[in-house]
Chain A
Amino acid sequence: MPNPEDRGAVGVTRNGLDTMAERLARHLAGRSSRRSALARLGGWAAAIPAFPLLPVWRRDARAAAPAAPSPFAAKAQAKDDTKCDYWRYCAIDGNLCTTCGGGVHSCPPGTHPSPTSWIGTCFNPQDRRAYLIAYRDCCGQDACNEQNCLGTDGDLPTYRPQANNDIIWCFGTGSLLYNCSTAVIVGTAE
């Protein structure tokens, strides 16, 4: 039999959370009008149409799902992000941050993510959807040089910089020394 005292203790905590949530809701309601909520919604609505203007490999976007749209996608796997054939690495060029002390969307300690990147379109064999992947470089230390991969799906020459993986995408960081690359999901390409 559970001790009623204990249950009471849990109940007190719940009540505390409820109270906090209520206070937060009242606080927000008191400080924001319906108009400002609408304005915020409008802001998002305005931002959404701008999103497709990002550099995207459109052809692939159209060809997405259910069949793998490219030779890389046809052989890609969705289990091990430290291997070159991981689905998000369809157009990556360089050292995998997952093998350099970072993660698939995390920079290793001592490095900094670039706010800029180029965006590729990769096909996930697990849910058979195409996703927009931002290849953000981690910068500030020299090449980490663990697992190096070269994915070339949709990779165009530097006269099409938005679709090129040879450019050092470290703009906006302290130094433009390249350490490793992440592959961040920034949306679906459907």
Chain B
Amino acid sequence: MLADRRSRVARRISRSLAVASVLTAIAAHGPAHAAEPILQTEESDIVTLPPGGPHRVLVEDGVYRHSKDGRVYVVDLDTGRLLGMVQAAYNANMVADPAGKAFYVAETTWERGNRGKRHDILAAYDPRTLEQVADIDLPGRALITPKKPDMAIGADGHYVYVYDSSPTNAVHVYDTGLKSVVRTVDVPGCGLIFPWGNAGFSSICGDGSLANVQMDAKGAPTLTRTPPFFVPDRDPVFEHSPEVAASGHVWFISYSGLIYETTLGAQSSVAKPWSIQEAAGLKAASDTRAPFEVTWRPGGWQLAALRARDSHLFVLMHKGTFWTHKDAGSELWELDLKTHRLVRRIPLAARSMMVGVTQDAQSRIMLTDEAGDLMVLDGADGKPVRKIGALGDALIFTAAPGE
């Protein structure tokens, strides 16, 4: 009995407390809520990006699962935010103006989606509004799973070059001032575009030589050839060999891991090659003549990136036989191109097909994985900074300011 009475009293007290707390809550919030201003009506507007810093980069997504729908993302590596994107349809290519004034996308569409008249397009974008500032038809372009050197821009940003392979190997020269294609230069038997100076570029030829094209003030081209410097059937050089476009300096990397430092020009010169593996204290890797040898080898898509200010090269490496040149890297090797020495080996949390690097003092390294994440590492020590999860589908290459 006593226990029952006690419990009834306790229940009554708790009920009174509950009512009191509700009244207190109304007293506390009621008048304040009434005083809060009604939210204003809004206008729709469009964001204009503030001027970008060294960590605002472009990332191309080939969207291999439905490659008709490629795109280029504008990404802030400091916040990990996507700032915008533009369409880059079907095996598109892109380059950024060296001074950051614009970026260019070469793409291909058909009028009725997957059929109808074909359009090869070059679109120029304002990097802050992402609006087109030019949008022209190209005479054609090569349809190849996108490789960075299938499109290039001169050092002063005046000419943009677009590679074509049908019906013959040629480079379309787009004048960014006139906003039109002013010339098509044939490069018979050669492919890719490695620019030098304001009006020159070199292509790699099927016999292991270079074709060098220099255009005069009127845009008339003169073509010279260097002797072959590598044997493509034995140890070809990667298409994604990194370059400092402003100086025409390319470090051609071979499948086996030899580096050919090359100064491009009307008379391109190629230095004696050295081995990545030997720089790391290992034996130089075999070429096609001993394909079964398992060792550390370079591989991936955009498999190397160059930081020009200290001449450091970042190369994706994996352990494998010859003919594994498209295997994703399990380590990133940082090499000093001046001393030909290994700086450090950076083991990767996930294998990457792509590496990019920003050019500033606090540089950032960009990697990807099978899930389409963009991993950001500190360029000073290779430590992880952040992961931009599921940025895209198939991240294939990057463009950082001033590279």
A30 at interface (Cβ–Cβ under 8 A)?
A: no
B262 at interface (Cβ–Cβ under 8 A)?
A: no
Within 8 A of B (CB), among A60-84: 69-72, 74
Closest residue of chain B to A178 (Cβ to Cβ) is: B67
A152 at interface (Cβ–Cβ under 8 A)?
A: yes
Q: A-facing mask of B54-72, CB < 8 A → 1, else 0?
A: 0000000000111110000
Expressed in whole angstroms, the Cα–Cα distance for A175 and B111 within the complex equals 11
Expressed in whole angstroms, the Cα–Cα distance for A74 and B239 within the complex equals 28
Known contacts A143-B65, A156-B232, A157-B237; is-contact A167 B115 (Cβ 8 Å): no
Q: Does B236 contact A157, Cβ atoms closer than 8 Å?
A: yes
Known contacts A140-B115, A142-B66, A157-B238; is-contact A168 B321 (Cβ 8 Å): no
Q: Does B110 contact A177, Cβ atoms closer than 8 Å?
A: yes
| Contact with B144, one of A145, A148, A150, A166 (Cβ below 8 angstroms) | A166
How many residues on chain B are close to A (CB under 8 Å)? 43
Q: Does B110 contact A175, Cβ atoms closer than 8 Å?
A: yes
Expressed in whole angstroms, the Cα–Cα distance for A59 and B144 within the complex equals 26
Closest residue of chain B to A110 (Cβ to Cβ) is: B114
Q: B-facing mask of A137-168, CB < 8 A → 1, else 0?
A: 00011110100101011111111110000111
Closest residue of chain A to B292 (Cβ to Cβ) is: A71
Q: Does B232 contact A71, Cβ atoms closer than 8 Å?
A: no
Q: A-facing mask of B179-218, CB < 8 A → 1, else 0?
A: 0000000000011100000000001111000000000000
**Interface extent on A, as a size class?**
20 to 34
Closest residue of chain B to A91 (Cβ to Cβ) is: B323
Residues in A with CB closer than 8 Å to B65 are 143, 145
Residues in A with CB closer than 8 Å to B203 are 159
| Contact with A160, one of B66, B144, B232, B325 (Cβ below 8 angstroms) | B232
B145 at interface (Cβ–Cβ under 8 A)?
A: yes
A174 at interface (Cβ–Cβ under 8 A)?
A: yes
Residues in A with CB closer than 8 Å to B206 are 159-160
Q: Does B325 contact A159, Cβ atoms closer than 8 Å?
A: no
A171 at interface (Cβ–Cβ under 8 A)?
A: yes
Closest residue of chain B to A158 (Cβ to Cβ) is: B191
B227 at interface (Cβ–Cβ under 8 A)?
A: no
Residues in B with CB closer than 8 Å to A72 are 323
Q: Count chain B CB atoms within 10 A of each CB in A154, A159, A174, A175 and give the residue with the most.
A: A159
Q: Does A159 contact B324, Cβ atoms closer than 8 Å?
A: no
| Contact with A158, one of B239, B288, B291, B321 (Cβ below 8 angstroms) | B239
Expressed in whole angstroms, the Cα–Cα distance for A16 and B164 within the complex equals 59
Q: Does A161 contact B165, Cβ atoms closer than 8 Å?
A: yes
Please give the distance in Å from B238's CB to the nearest CB on chain A. 7
Known contacts A140-B115, A143-B67; is-contact A152 B239 (Cβ 8 Å): no
Residues in A with CB closer than 8 Å to B166 are 171
| Contact with A175, one of B118, B142, B232 (Cβ below 8 angstroms) | B118
B330 at interface (Cβ–Cβ under 8 A)?
A: no
Known contacts A150-B326, A152-B326; is-contact A167 B232 (Cβ 8 Å): no
Expressed in whole angstroms, the Cα–Cα distance for A157 and B230 within the complex equals 13
Q: B-facing mask of A113-149, CB < 8 A → 1, else 0?
A: 0000000000000000000000000001111010010
B319 at interface (Cβ–Cβ under 8 A)?
A: no
Q: Does A142 contact B68, Cβ atoms closer than 8 Å?
A: yes
B341 at interface (Cβ–Cβ under 8 A)?
A: no
Q: Does A70 contact B67, Cβ atoms closer than 8 Å?
A: no
A176 at interface (Cβ–Cβ under 8 A)?
A: yes
Closest residue of chain B to A72 (Cβ to Cβ) is: B323
Closest residue of chain A to B190 (Cβ to Cβ) is: A159
Expressed in whole angstroms, the Cα–Cα distance for A166 and B238 within the complex equals 13
Residues in A with CB closer than 8 Å to B145 are 93, 166, 168
Q: Does B66 contact A71, Cβ atoms closer than 8 Å?
A: no
B233 at interface (Cβ–Cβ under 8 A)?
A: yes
Please give the distance in Å from A134's CB to the nearest CB on chain B. 19
Expressed in whole angstroms, the Cα–Cα distance for A148 and B238 within the complex equals 23
Closest residue of chain B to A90 (Cβ to Cβ) is: B323
Known contacts A59-B233, A166-B145; is-contact A152 B68 (Cβ 8 Å): no
| A-B residue pairs, 4 tightest by C-beta | A159-B191, A168-B143, A71-B321, A166-B145
17 contacts between A and B (CB under 8 A): A70-B291, A71-B324, A72-B323, A140-B114, A141-B114, A142-B66, A145-B64, A156-B232, A157-B192, A159-B191, A159-B192, A159-B205, A160-B236, A166-B145, A167-B165, A175-B114, A176-B108
A binding-site residues for B, Cβ under 8 Å: 59, 69-72, 74, 93, 140-143, 145, 148, 150, 152-161, 166-168, 170-171, 174-178
